[in-house]
Structure 1
């Protein structure tokens, strides 16, 4: 015996598979929202395009040219020259040492200050502000300040040594690279301290309390709880410090002038000398683009290594 089957009529606007079909009005409204959003973003796109991406493209294009105006095509000659140039090798080595020293110093000193000023100490807010002030000061002002302080004849530091009966020092001749590393740390350590303070205050107190109840010492709590949970902050500080160290310029330009004998010839300062003293803009563009590739490589390696070392509780 056959039975008849009936199919219920579909509701208006419904289609096969249970999906609703958008009305033309709604599609038009969504399109208007998208167009409006892009119109608001257009000034930002124009700004980044004119101020960032266009200069980068111009540098890359000039790196294949030579001549005072970088208008004669040279192919890869500038890059071959860079790999054979001993002055570039020296500048890169000095910059890597400078970047490594400032990065390690910023992490160690910044974390130490953050741990100290995270305690319930009287006047800790004032000390935080004092440590942070150099970071808020222009690198030009910092450079001029320390160049006068370290002056061998008129500098305040040698006057203090003389009053204490100690021999004076020619700081910028005997230890020039260590000197500008110290000045850079003095200037930047307040920023890393603030970052580590934020990371410390984001660690739940329950972890520390539970470890204390279990009998963990202060060192064990720091090594097993505080330091692993600060891994994201440490990663950010290390990446930013490495980028800042590789791009450092003002310290060498204002304090030491790249000397003595190229011992503080930072890479960007060397590029500046090639471009504006030797007037070789094509070669300087090639050196700049090589530094860009090195920074990208260092950043990718740091991010991958840092993410592998992250600990979650």
Structure 2
């Protein structure tokens, strides 16, 4: 009787969360699966036709490969930058609280503002970045034409560095200082302490950063759309941008729904793979 009452109480508290996920997560996914089985007219049933069509669509494959390159570059560079900032600002430095707050501002700023800001900064004619280069005797660059994907990666890293730094700071402050004291007594230098103590003990934080970063970058749409519009050509047309074009330019919501379901599957597979790698590393 007591166990039954405890079970009922537990389910009572779980009910809001279950309803939340059912209504705002599972129901939309089911709706997307259903919509993806219909043609562009929304009436003709095509079954798995939209899904198989995606694998033969060169523009979808192109956008997917670009998205993978963007995600890989952002994850590697963003993790390294965030970790470096966290290590520096975890020291007893004067004004470190101010620096932490300033570095977090871009993450808290609207992505629309970030996109418009950098589009103006990188403008080849009136952008302040080229003006600074010319002031020191260096030639100006057509950033969004010559290095579009690398530029988008750089902007993404800049805007998210503060958040990644905060996560790594939390991980660093959870490492007992006794480990570092023992390492100093044994004669280990800063680099040896970093690679032998800091990095291994930050493995759970690094795994969390990589998973949320992967999910975010694979779904990225707003920033490249505002800065480059997917151009030049299709150089920054990420997967989400291609999905947007199919849905709202071509009005093919069935195909767009199929593309969104495929993206969900890719995100799940890569996230699970990261978790498995993380478990093996911890073991």
* Number of the residue aligned with 2:205: 233
Written as runs of structure 1 = structure 2, the 5 A alignment for 1:1-313 is 31=5, 35=8, 38-39=11-12, 41-68=14-41, 70-310=42-282
CA distance in 2, matches of 1:36, 1:74: 45
**Conservation of the 8 A alpha-carbon contact between 2:104 and 2:162:** yes
Stretches of structure 2 lacking an aligned partner (at least 5 in a row): none
Query: 1:278, 1:126 → 2: CA distance?
Result: 48
1:151 to partner: Cα distance: 1.4
Residues 163-186 of structure 1, C-alpha deviations (whole Å, 9 max, x = no match): 333322211101000111000000
Which is richer in helix? 2
Q: Deviations over 1:83-105 (max 9, x none)?
A: 11110111001000000000001
Task: Kindly state the Cα deviation for residue 49 of structure 1 after the two structures are TM-superposed.
Answer: 2.4
Structure with bigger gyration radius: 1
TM-score (norm 1): 0.86
Q: Give the superposition deviation at 1:242.
A: 1.1
Structure 1 residue 136: deviation in Å? 0.8
- 1:5 — aligned with what? none
Provide the aligned length of Structure 1 versus Structure 2. 283
Equivalent residue of 1:309, what SS?
helix
Q: Provide the C-alpha distance between the structure 2 equivalents of 1:126 and 1:77, rounded to a whole number of angstroms.
A: 55
Structure 1 residue 307, shift from structure 2 partner: 1.3
Alpha-carbon contact 2:116-2:226 (below 8 Å) kept: yes
> 1:189 Cα shift?
1.0
1:124-156 CA distances to partner (integer Å, 9 max, x unpaired)?
A: 111111111111111111111111111122222
Partners of 2:40 and 2:255 within 8 A in 1: no
Gaps of 5+ in 1: 1-21
The separation in 1 between residues aligned to 2:10 and 2:189, in whole angstroms, is 55
Distance across 1 between alignment mates of 2:189 and 2:10: 55
What displacement does 1:46 show? 3.3
Offset, 1:162: 2.9
3-state SS of paired residue (1:72): coil
Tell me, in whole angstroms, the C-alpha distance in 1 between the residues paired with 2:51 and 2:68: 20
Partners of 2:103 and 2:128 lie apart in 1 by 21
**Cα separation, 1, equivalents of 2:47 and 2:102:** 52
Give the whole-Å Cα distance in 1 for the aligned partners of 2:17 and 2:197: 42
